[in-house]
A and B are shown apart, each in its own frame.
Chain A
Amino acid sequence: QVQLVQSGSELKKPGASVKVSCKASGYTFTSYAMNWVRQAPGQGLEWMGWINTNTGNPTYAQGFTGRFVFSLDTSVSTAYLQISSLKAEDTAVYYCVLPSGDAFDIWGQGTMVTVSS
């Protein structure tokens, strides 16, 4: 079955960087774009953008440009989210998500990133 498995929780200091991985299985990795969604503690869902898994071309939503980078390693069917110059407000759960049409069909289990000194 189609599955997205994300890397484990991270605790980082302000100013550091973090790289979250999302390993896909059960389908051809390059058949579907990979999306990323953020959820701050006690808050709603925010779409961060997506990456074309054929070309590697990323598209970032408003508010997620500059410090956020989507990347791929197609040889291991894995997508990555890297956040640099971490701030306390980056503390959130980050989800990788597969679309079906313009809905979000398959979600990773989420990765908690905590930024604290």
Chain B
Amino acid sequence: SYELTQPLSVSVALGQTARITCGGNNIGSKNVHWYQQKPGQAPVLVIYRDSNRPSGIPERFSGSNSGNTATLTISRAQAGDEADYYCQVWDSSRVFGTGTKVTVL
């Protein structure tokens, strides 16, 4: 089955840029979606189809996807961005990444 690998944690200084990677075999050929999950809350879609933002998601969130790695970038990180982030693709079934905890210092 298809696997998506994310770093366990990413730390970023307030106001700086965080990059969260999602590794998978030839992931660049798939649509990648990203979710933000804060403690005790349901996940929220923040990026769909590699680089598109749903309405209401700040422009500070962006995504890219090429080769074997997709990346979620959070620019000008804020305290409110602290959360777990998951990537997700479709590969004969829906697959989630392992999840990354983002800490804003």
Which A residues are closer than 8 A to B by beta carbons? 35, 44-47, 61-62, 95, 100-105, 107-110
Contact = CB atoms under 8 A, between A and B. Distances in A.
Given A45-B99, A108-B42, A103 B48 contact: yes
Contacts of A107: 42-44
Contacts of B42: 95, 107-110
Contacts of B1: 62
B43 A101 contact: no
Interface of B: 1, 31, 33, 35, 37, 42-45, 48-49, 54, 86, 88-90, 93-99
By secondary structure, the B interface counts as strand
Contacts of A45: 35, 37, 43, 86, 88, 96, 99
A61 B97 CA distance: 16
A97 B93 CA distance: 15
A101 B42 CA distance: 19
